[in-house]
Amino acid sequence: MRKAVAGAALGAAVARAAYIGLTRRPPRDEKLWVRTNHRGEPVTLLEGPAFAVGAVTAIAVVPGVPARMRAAAIVAGGVTGALGGYDDLAGSGDRRGFKGHLSALARGEVTTGAVKILGIGAAGLTAAVLAGTGAPTRRGAALDVLINGALIAGTANLLNLFDLRPGRAIKAGLLASPLVFAPPAPGLPRGRFAGLLSGSAVAAAPLGAALALLPEDLGERAMLGDAGANSLGALIGLAATGLSRRSRLAVLAGVTALNAASEVVSFTKVIQATPPLNRLDQLGRRPAAPQTRPAGTSRPDPM
C-alpha cells in the first residue's frame, strides 16, 4: 500500500507541476494547443502531455518497481501519449474510428489516425514483451504477450473514445481502478511477473496524475485529448495484465466489444439516455447550457 500511495502522490505532483509549466510556456505556438469543446468554448490540450509526463515519470522513479516494468510503462504510457499528441496536433478530423482510418489506408491514404492505430498496436506488444509474463512455457508466454499487448492497445483506444465531455475519460479510468488493483493471479512467479502486486505504483501513478488534473478537466479549462487519454488507457491496460489469464480474456472481450460498438453507436447518446450513467457523467461538471437551437435540431455528436 505504501508503494501505491507513493506512486499516486508522485504522479499527482509531477502532473500538476508539468501542467503549470506547460500552460505558462506552451511548446511552440500557444494557439496550436487550443481546441473548441462541446460548448463552443476554447480549451487547452496541454492537460494530455502533463498527464503522460506525470504518470510515466512517477512509475520510472518511484522505489520498488522492477526495471522491466519501468521500461514497459515508458513505452505504454510515453509512446502512446506521443502518438496521441501527434494526432492531436497534425490530425484533420476528416476520418474517424478504425473503419475510417483503415479504409483510407487501404486506398493508399496514410492518415495521422492510421499511424496512431498501428503505432499504438506496436507499442502495446512491445510493452507486453518488456513486462514479461511469467508463463511456464514459451507457448504460454507468447499467448500472454498477445493478450497483454491487445489489452494495452485496446484500452488506450477505448479511453480516448470517452474523452468527449469534461472529466468523462478520467472517470472511466477511475471506474477501472478495482480491476488494476486486483491481486495477481494465484501461483504466478511474482519475481518474474513484472512486479504487478496488489496496490502497486504502476496502477496508482496514472490514477494520481489523473485526479490531480481532474479539476481542470471538469472546469472545462483543459482536456486530455488523444495524448492524455491514450496514455491513461495504455497504463491502465498495462496494470491490468496482472490479472489471471481468464480475467484478462474477459476484460479484453469487453474492451474489444466497446471499441467495436463505438463504430456504430454514440457513447454520448447512450450515456445521456441512461439515468445512472448520465448522473455520473454530470457529476462535478458545469450545468448544461440553455437550449438555444430551434426545436427539432441538434448539434452532431463529435464522434
Q: How far is CA 210 from CA 36, 276, 290, in A?
A: 21, 23, 29
**Counted domains in the chain:** 1
pLDDT tens for each residue of the chain, 303 residues long = 777 888 899 999 999 999 999 999 998 888 899 999 888 899 999 999 999 999 999 999 988 888 899 999 999 999 999 999 998 998 766 556 556 656 666 676 667 778 888 999 999 999 999 998 777 788 888 999 999 999 999 999 999 999 999 999 999 999 887 665 554 444 444 433 333 444 477 888 999 999 999 999 999 999 999 999 999 999 999 988 888 889 899 999 999 999 999 989 999 999 999 999 999 999 999 887 655 444 443 434 443
Asked whether residue 126 is domain-assigned, the answer is yes
Check: pTM over 0.75? Answer yes or no: yes
Predicted local distance difference test score (pLDDT) of residue 241:
87
Closest CA to 231 of 11, 4, 9, 20: 11
Q: Is 244 left (phi over 0), alpha (psi -120 to 50) or beta?
A: beta
| Cα–Cα dist 25/247, whole Å | 44
Residue 303 lies in a domain: no
How many CB atoms are closer than 10 A to CB 3? 21
Res 188: pLDDT: 43
Residue 294 placed within a domain: no
Q: What is the pLDDT of residue 190?
A: 42
Q: Which domain holds residue 39?
A: 2-282
Residue 116 lies in a domain: yes
Distance CA 292, CA 289 (A): 9
Residue 35 lies in a domain: yes
DSSP helix/strand/coil, 164? coil
The count of residues in the chain is 303
Q: How distant is the alpha carbon of residue 218 from its chain centre?
A: 17
Question: Residue 293 falls within a domain, yes or no?
Answer: no
C-alpha triplet 132, 134, 138: angle, nearest 5°:
90
Residue 193 lies in a domain: yes
187: cell is 501461483
The verdict on residue 291 lying in a domain is: no
Supply the pLDDT for residue 186.
44
Q: Are 72 and 104 within 8 A, CB to CB?
A: no
User: Which of 76, 53, 56, 187 has its CA nearest to residue 130?
Assistant: 76
Rounded distance between C-alpha atoms, residue 88 and residue 33, angstroms: 8
